[in-house]
Structure 1
Amino acid sequence: MNLESPKVSIDKSSQDVFDFLSDVKNFEQLMPENTSKFEVLGEDTFVFALKGMPEIVLKKKEAVAPNKIVLGAAGGKIDFSLTGHITSVSETKSDVQLIFDGEFNAMMAMMIKGPISKFIETLATNIPANV
């Protein structure tokens, strides 16, 4: 299953956006209002939970400055990645798009597609106000 957030424009350089997304502590500022838990577990790992959903542990798996950050599931029953693609538009402007990619059976995919789509859209739309 592959889901894409809307592309958002940010009045910051791609390096500034990359630096912000590279620090996992900053993801707390991007989380939706229905977040019931957010805790940094290490330099590159955090756990979060949305109301009514199980806890999810994310770990920074790859960082390619200043264009790409990949977070992936750290343990748990499902394997997926959340990739932030950062595109430089000018020295002071960049675009960001989040891509969720995971392998799920048809039933699971049907159940989580809506909530995951909304989640990555919220993360993306919260980036410009917080970088």
Structure 2
Amino acid sequence: MHIEANKKVVQKSDKEVFDFLVDIKNFEILMPENIDKFEVLDENTFRFALSGMPEIVLRLKEKFPNEKVVLGAASDKLPFTLTADIKALSENESEVSLSFEGEFNAMMAMMIKSPITKFMETLSTNMDKIS
């Protein structure tokens, strides 16, 4: 299953966006308002829960300086990745594209597509909060 959020233009350099996203604790700032839990487990891993959804543990899997940050599920039970592609538009402006990639059976995909799409759009919208 592949889901892409709308691209987001951020008034920050590609380096600032990258540095923000590789610092795991900053994801709390990007989370939706209906977050029930956010906990940093180590420098590369965090756990979060949204109302009505199971807890998810994400781990920083790959980072390509100023270009891409890839987070993945810490558990192999539901393998998926969340990727942020960063493109410099100017010295102080970047475009961020978020994509979700996961392998799920048809029933699971049907159940999670809508909540994951909303979640991705919220993360994208909240990119304005990057400091």
User: What range describes the TM-score normalised by the shorter chain of this pair?
Assistant: over 0.9
Q: Tell me if structure 1 keeps the 8 A contact 2:17–2:130.
A: no
1:71 pairs with 2:59: no
Report the secondary structure of 1:99's partner residue.
Answer: strand
**TM-score, with structure 2 as normaliser:** 0.98
Percent identity at matched positions? 60
- Counterpart of 2:126 in structure 1 is 126
Report the secondary structure of 1:66's partner residue.
Answer: coil
Structure 2 unmatched runs, 5+: none
- Counterpart of 1:7 in structure 2 is 7
1:6 counterpart letter in structure 2: N
- Counterpart of 1:25 in structure 2 is 25
User: How large is the RMSD of aligned CA atoms in angstroms?
Assistant: 0.8
Distance 2:49 2:107 in 1: 21
Alignment size in residue pairs? 131
- Counterpart of 1:110 in structure 2 is 110
1:106 counterpart letter in structure 2: A
**TM-score, with structure 1 as normaliser:** 0.98
Report the secondary structure of 1:112's partner residue.
Answer: helix
Q: Deviating runs (4+, > 4 A) in structure 1?
A: none
